[in-house]
Structure 1
Amino acid sequence: MAEIAQSSAGLRFSGDDLDPIELTRLLGGKPTYAIRKGDLHTYPPNRPPRIARTGIWRLSSEYDAGDQLDRQISDILSALTSDVSVWADLVRRFKVDMFCGVWLNEENQGLGLAPQTLLMLGERGIELDLDIYYDRPGPDAGDVSEPN
Protein backbone atom coordinates (compact mmCIF):
# COMPACT_ATOMS: atom_id res chain seq x y z
CA MET A 1 0.00 0.00 0.00
CA ALA A 2 1.23 3.50 -0.80
CA GLU A 3 2.42 5.89 1.90
CA ILE A 4 0.26 8.75 3.22
CA ALA A 5 1.94 12.11 2.44
CA GLN A 6 1.14 13.72 5.81
CA SER A 7 -1.42 13.86 8.59
CA SER A 8 -2.51 16.01 11.51
CA ALA A 9 -4.99 15.70 14.36
CA GLY A 10 -6.69 18.17 16.64
CA LEU A 11 -9.05 17.69 19.57
CA ARG A 12 -11.67 20.45 19.41
CA PHE A 13 -14.18 21.70 21.97
CA SER A 14 -16.62 24.48 21.15
CA GLY A 15 -19.57 26.09 22.88
CA ASP A 16 -20.98 29.42 23.93
CA ASP A 17 -20.41 28.72 27.65
CA LEU A 18 -16.90 27.32 27.19
CA ASP A 19 -14.38 28.63 29.73
CA PRO A 20 -10.85 27.79 28.51
CA ILE A 21 -9.42 27.96 32.04
CA GLU A 22 -12.01 25.48 33.34
CA LEU A 23 -11.40 23.07 30.43
CA THR A 24 -7.65 23.24 30.90
CA ARG A 25 -8.09 22.39 34.59
CA LEU A 26 -10.56 19.55 33.96
CA LEU A 27 -8.56 18.02 31.10
CA GLY A 28 -5.20 18.39 32.81
CA GLY A 29 -3.44 19.66 29.70
CA LYS A 30 -2.81 22.97 27.97
CA PRO A 31 -4.42 23.79 24.62
CA THR A 32 -2.58 24.91 21.54
CA TYR A 33 -5.37 27.48 21.08
CA ALA A 34 -8.25 28.67 23.27
CA ILE A 35 -10.65 31.60 23.29
CA ARG A 36 -13.78 32.55 25.22
CA LYS A 37 -16.90 33.71 23.35
CA GLY A 38 -16.84 37.49 22.98
CA ASP A 39 -13.07 37.85 23.37
CA LEU A 40 -11.00 39.47 20.66
CA HIS A 41 -8.77 37.08 18.71
CA THR A 42 -6.65 36.90 15.59
CA TYR A 43 -7.20 33.40 14.26
CA PRO A 44 -6.28 32.48 11.65
CA PRO A 45 -3.08 34.52 11.86
CA ASN A 46 -2.65 37.30 9.30
CA ARG A 47 -6.32 38.25 9.66
CA PRO A 48 -7.63 41.38 11.36
CA PRO A 49 -8.72 40.91 15.00
CA ARG A 50 -12.34 39.89 15.46
CA ILE A 51 -14.73 38.87 18.22
CA ALA A 52 -15.03 35.12 18.88
CA ARG A 53 -18.55 33.93 18.03
CA THR A 54 -18.18 30.92 20.35
CA GLY A 55 -15.72 29.52 22.85
CA ILE A 56 -13.00 27.23 21.51
CA TRP A 57 -10.42 24.93 23.14
CA ARG A 58 -8.14 23.00 20.80
CA LEU A 59 -5.13 20.73 21.27
CA SER A 60 -3.42 20.01 17.94
CA SER A 61 -0.60 17.80 16.77
CA GLU A 62 2.11 18.93 14.41
CA TYR A 63 1.81 18.03 10.74
CA ASP A 64 3.85 14.84 10.30
CA ALA A 65 5.01 13.09 7.17
CA GLY A 66 3.61 9.65 6.50
CA ASP A 67 0.78 7.84 8.24
CA GLN A 68 1.19 9.16 11.77
CA LEU A 69 -2.51 9.68 12.49
CA ASP A 70 -2.89 6.87 15.03
CA ARG A 71 0.10 8.13 17.03
CA GLN A 72 -1.06 11.76 16.79
CA ILE A 73 -4.53 10.95 18.16
CA SER A 74 -3.12 8.69 20.86
CA ASP A 75 -0.56 11.30 21.94
CA ILE A 76 -3.24 14.00 22.26
CA LEU A 77 -5.59 11.82 24.32
CA SER A 78 -2.79 10.38 26.47
CA ALA A 79 -1.76 13.92 27.46
CA LEU A 80 -5.20 14.55 29.00
CA THR A 81 -7.27 13.03 31.78
CA SER A 82 -8.49 9.47 31.33
CA ASP A 83 -11.40 10.05 33.76
CA VAL A 84 -14.41 9.08 31.63
CA SER A 85 -16.80 10.91 34.00
CA VAL A 86 -15.02 14.19 33.16
CA TRP A 87 -15.29 13.40 29.45
CA ALA A 88 -18.99 12.45 29.77
CA ASP A 89 -19.72 15.84 31.31
CA LEU A 90 -17.71 17.72 28.68
CA VAL A 91 -19.26 15.99 25.64
CA ARG A 92 -22.69 16.68 27.14
CA ARG A 93 -21.89 20.41 27.50
CA PHE A 94 -19.85 21.08 24.36
CA LYS A 95 -19.37 19.98 20.78
CA VAL A 96 -16.30 17.72 20.88
CA ASP A 97 -14.48 16.06 18.01
CA MET A 98 -11.09 14.85 16.87
CA PHE A 99 -10.57 16.67 13.58
CA CYS A 100 -7.99 14.92 11.40
CA GLY A 101 -6.44 15.89 8.10
CA VAL A 102 -4.89 13.28 5.83
CA TRP A 103 -3.05 14.27 2.65
CA LEU A 104 -2.64 11.68 -0.08
CA ASN A 105 0.08 11.85 -2.68
CA GLU A 106 -1.47 9.22 -4.93
CA GLU A 107 -4.76 7.38 -5.35
CA ASN A 108 -5.79 4.20 -3.51
CA GLN A 109 -4.05 4.90 -0.23
CA GLY A 110 -5.36 3.78 3.11
CA LEU A 111 -4.76 4.17 6.78
CA GLY A 112 -5.90 2.50 9.96
CA LEU A 113 -6.34 3.22 13.65
CA ALA A 114 -5.35 0.76 16.36
CA PRO A 115 -8.15 -0.74 18.48
CA GLN A 116 -6.69 1.00 21.56
CA THR A 117 -6.94 4.40 19.86
CA LEU A 118 -10.51 3.75 18.74
CA LEU A 119 -11.35 2.66 22.29
CA MET A 120 -9.87 5.87 23.71
CA LEU A 121 -12.06 7.92 21.36
CA GLY A 122 -15.16 5.82 22.08
CA GLU A 123 -14.78 5.78 25.87
CA ARG A 124 -14.54 9.56 25.85
CA GLY A 125 -17.47 10.03 23.45
CA ILE A 126 -15.32 11.83 20.89
CA GLU A 127 -16.51 11.97 17.28
CA LEU A 128 -13.83 11.24 14.67
CA ASP A 129 -13.91 13.79 11.84
CA LEU A 130 -11.68 13.01 8.84
CA ASP A 131 -10.81 15.38 6.02
CA ILE A 132 -8.96 13.58 3.24
CA TYR A 133 -7.17 15.62 0.59
CA TYR A 134 -5.84 14.54 -2.77
CA ASP A 135 -4.76 16.86 -5.55
CA ARG A 136 -5.21 14.82 -8.71
CA PRO A 137 -2.56 15.79 -11.26
CA GLY A 138 -3.82 17.44 -14.43
CA PRO A 139 -3.81 15.61 -17.78
CA ASP A 140 -0.36 16.99 -18.65
CA ALA A 141 1.25 16.43 -15.22
CA GLY A 142 3.25 13.40 -16.28
CA ASP A 143 4.04 14.60 -19.80
CA VAL A 144 7.55 16.05 -19.88
CA SER A 145 8.08 15.72 -23.61
CA GLU A 146 8.79 18.80 -25.68
CA PRO A 147 5.98 20.03 -27.95
CA ASN A 148 6.45 19.47 -31.71
Structure 2
Amino acid sequence: MGILHKSAVSLGFYNDDLDPSRISEILGAEPDVGVKKGDVWKTVGGVEKVAITGSWRIGSERRSPGDVDGQIQDIFGKLESDIGVWRQLSELYQGRVFCGLFLASGNEGIRLQPETVAAIGERSLLLDFDIYGAELPD
Protein backbone atom coordinates (compact mmCIF):
# COMPACT_ATOMS: atom_id res chain seq x y z
CA MET A 1 0.00 0.00 0.00
CA GLY A 2 1.40 3.38 -1.01
CA ILE A 3 1.28 6.51 1.13
CA LEU A 4 -1.87 8.61 0.78
CA HIS A 5 -1.11 11.74 -1.27
CA LYS A 6 -3.41 14.20 0.54
CA SER A 7 -6.27 14.20 3.06
CA ALA A 8 -9.01 16.55 4.21
CA VAL A 9 -10.97 15.89 7.42
CA SER A 10 -13.96 17.60 9.01
CA LEU A 11 -16.52 16.98 11.73
CA GLY A 12 -20.15 17.90 11.22
CA PHE A 13 -23.54 17.73 12.85
CA TYR A 14 -26.70 17.96 10.73
CA ASN A 15 -30.43 18.28 11.41
CA ASP A 16 -33.36 20.41 10.27
CA ASP A 17 -33.75 21.98 13.72
CA LEU A 18 -30.02 22.37 14.47
CA ASP A 19 -28.98 25.69 16.05
CA PRO A 20 -25.24 26.18 15.34
CA SER A 21 -24.74 28.51 18.31
CA ARG A 22 -26.00 25.76 20.66
CA ILE A 23 -23.51 23.24 19.24
CA SER A 24 -20.71 25.80 19.61
CA GLU A 25 -21.69 26.36 23.24
CA ILE A 26 -21.77 22.63 23.97
CA LEU A 27 -18.50 21.73 22.20
CA GLY A 28 -16.63 24.90 23.16
CA ALA A 29 -15.59 26.04 19.67
CA GLU A 30 -16.85 28.06 16.74
CA PRO A 31 -17.46 26.17 13.48
CA ASP A 32 -15.97 26.88 10.08
CA VAL A 33 -19.58 26.73 8.83
CA GLY A 34 -22.61 27.07 11.08
CA VAL A 35 -25.99 27.58 9.46
CA LYS A 36 -29.66 27.03 10.21
CA LYS A 37 -31.96 25.36 7.70
CA GLY A 38 -33.03 27.90 5.08
CA ASP A 39 -30.26 30.40 5.85
CA VAL A 40 -27.67 31.46 3.28
CA TRP A 41 -24.01 30.49 3.64
CA LYS A 42 -20.92 30.84 1.44
CA THR A 43 -18.71 28.01 0.22
CA VAL A 44 -14.92 28.28 0.39
CA GLY A 45 -15.10 29.46 -3.23
CA GLY A 46 -17.51 32.26 -2.29
CA VAL A 47 -20.65 30.74 -3.81
CA GLU A 48 -23.82 31.51 -1.85
CA LYS A 49 -26.03 28.54 -1.05
CA VAL A 50 -29.28 28.06 0.85
CA ALA A 51 -28.91 25.44 3.57
CA ILE A 52 -31.20 22.46 2.94
CA THR A 53 -30.68 21.44 6.57
CA GLY A 54 -28.97 22.93 9.60
CA SER A 55 -25.28 22.19 9.98
CA TRP A 56 -22.29 22.82 12.22
CA ARG A 57 -18.93 21.93 10.64
CA ILE A 58 -15.31 22.27 11.70
CA GLY A 59 -12.31 21.05 9.77
CA SER A 60 -8.60 20.47 9.91
CA GLU A 61 -6.04 21.83 7.47
CA ARG A 62 -5.47 19.56 4.48
CA ARG A 63 -2.32 17.49 4.79
CA SER A 64 0.09 16.13 2.24
CA PRO A 65 1.03 13.38 2.69
CA GLY A 66 -2.32 12.39 4.12
CA ASP A 67 -2.66 12.11 7.90
CA VAL A 68 -6.25 11.24 8.77
CA ASP A 69 -5.35 10.07 12.30
CA GLY A 70 -3.60 13.36 13.08
CA GLN A 71 -6.37 15.47 11.59
CA ILE A 72 -9.09 13.71 13.59
CA GLN A 73 -7.00 14.05 16.77
CA ASP A 74 -6.54 17.77 16.05
CA ILE A 75 -10.28 18.32 15.67
CA PHE A 76 -11.26 16.33 18.76
CA GLY A 77 -8.49 18.05 20.74
CA LYS A 78 -10.15 21.45 20.21
CA LEU A 79 -13.54 20.30 21.49
CA GLU A 80 -15.33 19.16 24.65
CA SER A 81 -13.85 15.90 25.97
CA ASP A 82 -16.92 14.60 27.89
CA ILE A 83 -18.06 11.54 25.92
CA GLY A 84 -21.56 11.76 27.44
CA VAL A 85 -22.00 15.18 25.82
CA TRP A 86 -20.99 13.74 22.45
CA ARG A 87 -23.44 10.87 22.76
CA GLN A 88 -26.27 13.29 23.57
CA LEU A 89 -25.39 15.38 20.51
CA SER A 90 -25.32 12.26 18.34
CA GLU A 91 -28.80 11.29 19.57
CA LEU A 92 -30.17 14.70 18.55
CA TYR A 93 -28.21 15.33 15.36
CA GLN A 94 -26.56 13.24 12.68
CA GLY A 95 -22.85 13.50 13.49
CA ARG A 96 -20.13 12.42 11.12
CA VAL A 97 -16.41 12.57 10.53
CA PHE A 98 -15.81 13.24 6.85
CA CYS A 99 -12.50 12.17 5.28
CA GLY A 100 -11.55 13.25 1.78
CA LEU A 101 -8.78 11.03 0.43
CA PHE A 102 -6.87 12.36 -2.57
CA LEU A 103 -4.83 9.82 -4.54
CA ALA A 104 -1.86 10.62 -6.77
CA SER A 105 -1.56 7.04 -8.04
CA GLY A 106 -3.59 3.85 -8.15
CA ASN A 107 -2.07 2.12 -5.14
CA GLU A 108 -2.46 4.39 -2.14
CA GLY A 109 -4.26 3.82 1.11
CA ILE A 110 -4.65 4.71 4.74
CA ARG A 111 -4.56 2.90 8.03
CA LEU A 112 -6.43 4.24 11.05
CA GLN A 113 -5.02 3.64 14.51
CA PRO A 114 -7.26 1.78 16.99
CA GLU A 115 -7.38 4.89 19.22
CA THR A 116 -8.79 6.96 16.34
CA VAL A 117 -11.45 4.38 15.51
CA ALA A 118 -12.38 4.10 19.21
CA ALA A 119 -12.62 7.91 19.58
CA ILE A 120 -15.04 8.09 16.65
CA GLY A 121 -17.11 5.15 17.90
CA GLU A 122 -17.37 6.27 21.51
CA ARG A 123 -18.75 9.61 20.26
CA SER A 124 -21.36 7.71 18.19
CA LEU A 125 -20.24 9.40 14.98
CA LEU A 126 -20.44 8.06 11.44
CA LEU A 127 -17.20 7.74 9.49
CA ASP A 128 -17.59 8.91 5.89
CA PHE A 129 -14.91 8.54 3.18
CA ASP A 130 -14.81 10.23 -0.23
CA ILE A 131 -11.99 8.91 -2.40
CA TYR A 132 -10.70 11.06 -5.26
CA GLY A 133 -8.67 9.05 -7.76
CA ALA A 134 -5.59 10.19 -9.58
CA GLU A 135 -6.28 11.81 -12.92
CA LEU A 136 -5.25 9.52 -15.73
CA PRO A 137 -3.15 10.92 -18.58
CA ASP A 138 -4.87 11.18 -21.97
> CA offset at residue 50 of structure 1?
4.2
Q: TM-score, normalised by structure 2?
A: 0.91
Supply the distance in 2 between the matched residues of 1:87 and 1:127 (Cα, whole angstroms). 12
Q: How does 1:1-148 map to 2 (within 5 A)?
A: 1-43=1-43, 45-47=45-47, 49-138=48-137
Q: Is contact 2:5–2:108 with CA below 8 Å preserved after alignment? A: no
Q: What SS class does the counterpart of residue 102 from structure 1 fall into?
A: strand
For residues 73-96 of structure 1, give each alpha carbon's deviation from its aligned partner in whole angstroms, at most 9, with x where no partner exists.
111112111211111111111111
Q: TM-score, normalised by structure 1?
A: 0.85
For residues 55-83 of structure 1, give each alpha carbon's deviation from its aligned partner in whole angstroms, at most 9, with x where no partner exists.
11001111111121110011111211121
Unaligned runs of 5+ in 1: 141-148
Matched-pair identity in %: 37
Alignment-mate amino acid for residue 16 of structure 2: D
Runs of at least 4 residues of structure 1 off by over 4 A? none
Alignment-mate amino acid for residue 18 of structure 1: L
Alignment-mate amino acid for residue 41 of structure 1: W
- Count of residues in Structure 1 that have an aligned counterpart in Structure 2: 138
Unaligned runs of 5+ in 2: none
Q: 1:39 to 1:136 in 2, by over 3 A?
A: closer
For residues 21-69 of structure 1, give each alpha carbon's deviation from its aligned partner in whole angstroms, at most 9, with x where no partner exists.
110010112211111122222335332x443221110011111111211
Aligned to 1:143: none
Q: What SS class does the counterpart of residue 130 from structure 1 fall into?
A: strand
Larger radius of gyration: 1
Supply the distance in 2 between the matched residues of 1:77 and 1:22 (Cα, whole angstroms). 18
